[in-house]
Amino acid sequence: MIGSVHVRVDAARRERARRASAGTGRARVIWPLAAVAAAFTLAQLLLVRPGMGLGWDETVYVSQVSGHAPAAFFSAPRARGVSLLVAPVAAWSSSTALLRVYLAVLSGLALFLALRAWRGLFPVRVLALAGALFASLWVTLFYGPQAMPNYWVAVGALAAVACFLRARTDRADRAALWGLGASAALMAWMRPVDAVWVTLPLLALGLMRRHWRPLLVLLTGLAAGALEWVIEAYVSYGGLAQRLDDGSAIQGGLGLHFAVVDQLRSLGGRALCRPCTGALPNPVVTVWWFALPLLAALGLTVAVRARRTATTLLPLACAATAAVPYLFMIGYAAPRFLLPAYALLSIPVAVALVHLVTAPSRVRRPVAVALLALGLAAHLAVQLTVLLHTVDRTTAAHRDWSRTADTLHRLGVRSPCLLTGHEAIPVAFYAGCSSAATTGHNANSTAQAITGTARHTPVATLVPAGSRPPRYARSWPSVPLDGLRLYYAVPEAGS
C-alpha cells in the first residue's frame, strides 16, 4: 500500500518535471521569435514616421470606414480586409499617427504568430534568422504600418504553409488545423486572387497525397475569407466573372508580361512603377534580390541532404507561385507585390545561411561567420538607406496633398464637398470631400451629375498646369497650385 503511494508520488513528480521541461523548451523557442517581432515593431515606429500621412490606396481603404471622410470609389480588384482591419481606429479617430502605431503593433504580433507556427519544423535559430531577414527588408518595414493588404497576405502565407506541414504529419495537432484555416481566411480576406496563387502548391500536395483534412480546412478558410468579395461581385460588379475581368483591365490586362526588370527598377524605393521606365537602381541596391533565389536553392539542397525536403520545398514552391503573376503577368511593378514571396523565401534562405556558418571546419568557421556578418551588415545598411529615402519622398508627397486640402478649405470647399480631376481620391480624403471621376478605372459619375452637384454643394477640380479643364468647370474661378490649376465652385448660402 505504502509502496503504491510512493509510486504515484514519483509519477506525479516526473509528470510535473516533464511539463516544466516542456514549458522551458517552449519558452526557449518563443522568446527569440518574440524579440524579432518586437524589434520589427520598434523599427517601424522609429523609421517610418507615424505622421507620414496616408497614401493613395490607403485613403481608399480607410475611407470605407472613416468617421471623417466619405467612402471613395472601391474598384474591382480591391477587397474589404484592410478596411475592416483598420476600422477599430479609423472609425472614431482621424489620427494617422495613431493608425500607424496600431498597425505597427499588429504587424509585429502577426509576424510573431507566423514564425511561431513553424516551431518544431526548424531550429529556433533558423526561424529567428528568417524572421529577421524578412523584417529587415525596406519594403517590409515600409508597408508593415500601412493600411495595405500585401504584408498581411505575406504573414498569412508564412503561417499557412507551416500549419499545413504540421497538420499533414500530425493528425492530433488541432492547433495547426485552426491556424491553417485562419491563415487562409486572412489571405483571402485581404486579396482573394493572391491567396489562390499562394496556396496552389498546398492544394496540389493535398490532392496528390490525399491529405483530406488539411485540404478541407484550407479550402474552407479560403472560402470563408473570400465570401464577402464574391457576394459583393454579384451585388455591385455584375458577377464574379465580370469583377475578375474588370480587375484584369484595371491592372493593364493580365497576360504574358515580363515584369522582372520592372520589379528591379522598383527596388530603389518606387512605391508604384507604372509606367516603369528609367534607369535601374545602383547594383548595390539590387544585389540581394539576385542572391535570394541562389540562397533559397542552397537551402533546398541542404534540406534534401538532411532528408527534410518537404519542409523547405513547400515554402519555396509557394513563394514561386505567389511571385508568378507579378513577375510574368502584369505590365508594371510595385515592390510590395512580392512581399508574400519574400516571407516564404526567408525560410530556405535562413537554412542556407545557418548551414554556411556551421558546416565549415573549426578553422574556417570564424572566417565564414565574419564574411556573413559583413554581408548582412552591408545589406542592412542598403535597406536602411532606401527606406529613409522612400519615407522622406513619400512624406513630402503626402504633405502636398495636405496643402492642397488646406487651400480648398480657404476657398470655401469644405465638407460636404466634391472633388474631381488629378489625384482627386487622396486629396478628397484629406479635405473631407467625396471624389468623382467621369473616365478611367475609378469612373463613378457623369459630367451632368457633377454640374448638378455644383449648384448646391462646393465642387472643385484639379487640372495639371497647361491642360484644359473639363467642360463643366471652364467658367469656374481658378487659382494656380503646385504645378496644378484648381477650379472651384462654391454656391452661395441658401442657393
Task: Say yes or no to pLDDT of 45 above 80.
Answer: yes
**188-207 pLDDT, tens digit each:** 999 999 999 999 999 999 99
Same domain? 230 vs 316? yes
Task: Say yes or no to pLDDT of 29 above 70.
Answer: no
Q: Is 393 part of any domain?
A: no
Cell of 384: 536602411
Give the domain-ending residue among 359, 391, 414. 359
* Whole-Å CA distances, 177 to 22, 159, 168, 213, 224: 22, 11, 9, 8, 15
Identity of residue 60: V
Report the C-alpha gap between 260 and 205 in whole angstroms: 28
Same domain? 417 vs 340? no
Q: Is 382 part of any domain?
A: no
Q: What is the mean pLDDT of residues 336-355?
A: 97
| Residue from 124, 120, 213, 131 nearest 162 by CA | 120
Same domain? 408 vs 261? no
**269-281 pLDDT, tens digit each:** 999 888 888 889 9
Same domain? 236 vs 109? yes
Q: Is 225 part of any domain?
A: yes
Work out whether strand 418-421 and strand 434-436 pair parallel, antiparallel, or are unpaired.
parallel
Cell of 363: 578553422
**376-420 pLDDT, tens digit each:** 999 999 999 999 999 999 999 999 999 999 999 999 999 999 999
Give the domain-ending residue among 359, 391, 426. 359
The answer to whether the CB of 410 falls within 8 A of the CB of 420 is no
| Residue from 114, 260, 250 nearest 193 by CA | 250
Higher local confidence (pLDDT), 335 or 362:
335
Same domain? 249 vs 323? yes
Q: What is the mean pLDDT of residues 467-480?
A: 94
Other CB atoms within 10 Å distance of the CB of residue 70: 17
Provide the domain limits for residue 410: 402-489
**61-97 pLDDT, tens digit each:** 999 999 889 999 999 999 999 999 999 999 999 999 9
Same domain? 479 vs 334? no
Same domain? 150 vs 207? yes
Average pLDDT, the chain: 91
Q: Is 189 part of any domain?
A: yes
Q: Is 374 part of any domain?
A: no
Give the domain-ending residue among 359, 393, 421. 359
Same domain? 346 vs 406? no
Q: What is the structure's pLDDT at 441?
A: 85
Q: Is 76 part of any domain?
A: yes
Cell of 187: 489571405
Q: What is the structure's pLDDT at 10?
A: 52
Task: Say yes or no to pLDDT of 312 above 70.
Answer: yes
Task: Say yes or no to pLDDT of 494 above 80.
Answer: no
Other CB atoms within 10 Å distance of the CB of residue 231: 11
Q: What is the structure's pLDDT at 449?
A: 96
Q: Is 377 part of any domain?
A: no
Q: What is the structure's pLDDT at 5?
A: 46
| Residue from 110, 90, 124, 132 nearest 182 by CA | 110
Report the C-alpha gap between 394 and 269 in whole angstroms: 10
Same domain? 15 vs 96? yes
Number of domains in the chain: 2
Same domain? 76 vs 220? yes
The length of the chain in residues reads: 495
Burial class (CB in 10 A: 0-12, 13-18, 19+), 40: buried
pTM above 0.85, yes or no: yes
DSSP string across 309-373 = HHHHHHHHHHHHHHHHHHHHS-SSB-GGGGHHHHHHHHHHHHHHHHHHHHSS-TTTHHHHHHHHH
Same domain? 352 vs 414? no
The answer to whether the CB of 194 falls within 8 A of the CB of 340 is yes
Q: What is the structure's pLDDT at 7?
A: 45
* Whole-Å CA distances, 140 to 108, 199, 336: 11, 21, 8
**131-150 pLDDT, tens digit each:** 999 999 999 999 999 999 99
Convert 444-455 to b/e letters by CB count within 10 Å (16 or more is b): ebeeeebeebbe
Q: What is the structure's pLDDT at 171?
A: 86
H helices present in 147-276, as ranges: 150-169, 174-190, 192-208, 212-236, 240-250, 260-266
Convert 245-274 to b/e letters by CB count within 10 Å (16 or more is b): bbbbeebeebeebebeebbbbbbbbbbebe
Q: Is 371 part of any domain?
A: no
Q: What is the structure's pLDDT at 495?
A: 53
Same domain? 13 vs 157? yes
* Whole-Å CA distances, 148 to 35, 58, 80, 241, 426: 24, 6, 11, 25, 15
Report the C-alpha gap between 346 and 118 in whole angstroms: 12
Task: Say yes or no to pLDDT of 16 above 50.
Answer: no
